[in-house]
Structure 1
Amino acid sequence: MDYATFLDTVTRRAPVPPEKAEPLTRATLETLAERLTRGEADDLASELPKPMKEPLVSPTPEAEAFGLDEFINRVSKRAGISPDEAREGVRAELNTLKDAVSDGEFRQVMSQLPRDFEALVGASSREEA
């Protein structure tokens, strides 16, 4: 999946205006990089288009331990959107990532996240692409 298609898919799935799709994507990937080990963030980045690689540069080798609520709060602040928009945006981002990378890679990412992320991804998006 190329970058434009990724952003278009997020725009259709998330309750944010099109101009917020890119900041939402960047905020989600930066927060994901904090939550994953550096190795896993690098593995994920290797399967994504170039504009999505830089936000996935992990600040530390170890994953920070925080849950879904903190993840959503960080995305909300970084993207300049409400927590409710961020929650739906993270759902859209993760579902779009699931479509953009191999099944094995997505499972590896999800294995490093708390169970409530699985419930978020499993919940239906506004529009499936």
Structure 2
Amino acid sequence: MQYDEFIGDVQHRAQLDSREAALSTTRATLTTLSERIQPGQAENVGAQLPEEIGRHLEKVDEVESFGWDEFVDRVADREQVGSEDREDVIYRARVVMEVVDEVIPESSMEKLKDQLPAEYEDLFVLQETEATAGPNPEE
């Protein structure tokens, strides 16, 4: 997958109004993830992504231990959005990881997941939200 396709997929799936917004959420998610996983694993995943995307996983040399809530807060800070947008931040991060999952081999994704505590499972499960599910036919 090429850079333009990656960012276009994030933009479309997350229903973002611009490529810049898609790049911002991709950068915020992957940079924050790189702070949480081992540098070698981050570089391995980054090397399998388009160069312009993968470099966001190669910026950190030191692993920090922080939980899911802190992860979401850091992504929100990097995206420069308020805490009232927390669910949107989570959804966009899930979209980024869904696209990453489609690009890298399953074994690489499993190694990445293995480095994170169970509370991070939500990052890898893209669930339909009201924004993407459409109208409820029972209403």
Listed one character per residue, the Cα deviations across residues 31-88 of structure 1 (whole Å, up to 9, x for unaligned) are 0110111110111111011101221124224x21112111111111101233222111
Q: State the aligned residue count.
A: 126
Q: Provide the C-alpha distance between the structure 1 equivalents of 2:9 and 2:97, rounded to a whole number of angstroms.
A: 11
**Matching residue's letter, 1:24:** T
Q: Distance in 1 between matches of 2:117 and 2:99?
A: 19
1:64 and 2:64 are equivalent in the alignment: yes
Bigger mean CA deviation after superposition, 93-102 or 108-117: 108-117
CA distance in 2, matches of 1:37, 1:84: 27
Distance 1:84 1:122 in 2: 14
Show the 5 A alignment for 1:1-129.
1-18=1-18, 19-61=20-62, 63-81=63-81, 82-125=85-128, 126=132
- Which segments of structure 1 move beyond 4 Å, counting only runs of 4 or more? none
- Structure 2 gap ranges (5+): 134-139
State the structure with more CA Rg. 2
After superposition, the CA RMSD in angstroms is 1.8
Q: Distance in 1 between matches of 2:124 and 2:64?
A: 20
Within 2, Cα distance between the matches of 1:115 and 1:12?
A: 28
Residue 16 of structure 1 contacts residue 85 of structure 1 at CA under 8 Å; is this kept in 2? Answer: no
The CA distance in 2 between the partners of 1:123 and 1:5, in whole Å, is 19
Amino acid at match of 1:106: M
Q: Which moves more between the two structures, 5-14 or 67-76? A: 5-14
Asked whether the 8 Å contact 2:95–2:126 carries over to 1, the reply is no
Query: 1: CA distance between counterparts of 2:122 and 2:88?
Result: 17
RCO higher in structure (CA 8 A, sep ≥6) = 1
Q: Which runs of 5+ in 1 are unaligned?
A: none
Instruction: Provide the identity percentage.
Output: 29
Q: 1:21 to 1:104 in 2, by over 3 A?
A: same
